[in-house]
Amino acid sequence: MESSLGERQSNPRVPVPLWLPLVGLGVGIVLASLFSAVAIVAQHASLSSALNDPTTLAADEVGLWVALVGSVAFASKRYGSRHLAQDFGLKIRPWPDIPLGLIIGVLCQLVVVPILYLPFEVGNSSFSRSLSQPAKNLVGVGKGGGSVVVALIVLVGAPLIEELFFRGLLLSALRSTFRRLPQRVDIALSVLACGAIFGLAHFELLQFLGLFAVGVIFAAITTKVERLGLSIFAHCGFNLVAFVLIAKV
């Protein structure tokens, strides 16, 4: 039975060993590099041109996603019930997940992240440009007809697959790791560690603080409602704001 907003998750959904998501993430990073390298070579174009092509971006993401989804599927088969959606909470309630999730994501992007970085921007006019540069590079790949590819990756693929992996598999593994601790300590450590790994996985030093905070929020709401629908749409809302604002620049 799914929990309500007021209920707490007392146990990890599936007792997954922590090494599994960590290895899966590492394999995903390697596959992403290999897939994008193949895409670059296949285009017979200059390196700068190939790097800014939607095909390269798609290849990179597919390589990563193959490993992430594969890790989740393996965990469900080896440690769970073999029903992936049931094992890792891949359930969506149109109400309240869609509207509430989108609101949470928008607030994270427009309120939480700016507040966190406000002290760094004082007296440093170039900080905001540096902070937004990775997102600008990503959206820039969509110029010239690739916007649909970028939109699908940013607004559909990433929210669904990353939430399934990070707030599904990884969070369950962390809850299993800390399960012998008092419940509040177990939840706090799991949520914080999940946010930290989520931030580190993006390999963006300046963006780490914001990604860490957002990862913590997404992990916290997932722990609260025991399903991924809310965090999936929060992730979508977070990315949507960045996509729309930067696409207009």
Does residue 7 register a pLDDT over 50? no
* pTM given for the model: 0.91
Residues 190, 18: contact at Cβ < 8 Å?
no
Helix (H, G, I), strand (E, B), or coil: what is residue 203? coil
pLDDT at residue 142 is higher than 60: no
Virtual CA dihedral for 87, 33, 200, 25, nearest 10 degrees? 20
pLDDT reported for residue 248: 65
Q: What is the mean pLDDT of residues 132-161?
A: 80
Q: Residues 45, 92: contact at Cβ < 8 Å?
A: no
Contact status, residue 56 vs residue 42, Cβ threshold 8 Å: no
Domain boundaries, the chain: 19-247
Q: What pLDDT shows up at residue 23?
A: 98
Question: Over 80: is that where the pLDDT of 41 sits?
Answer: yes
Tell whether the model's pLDDT for residue 119 goes beyond 50.
yes
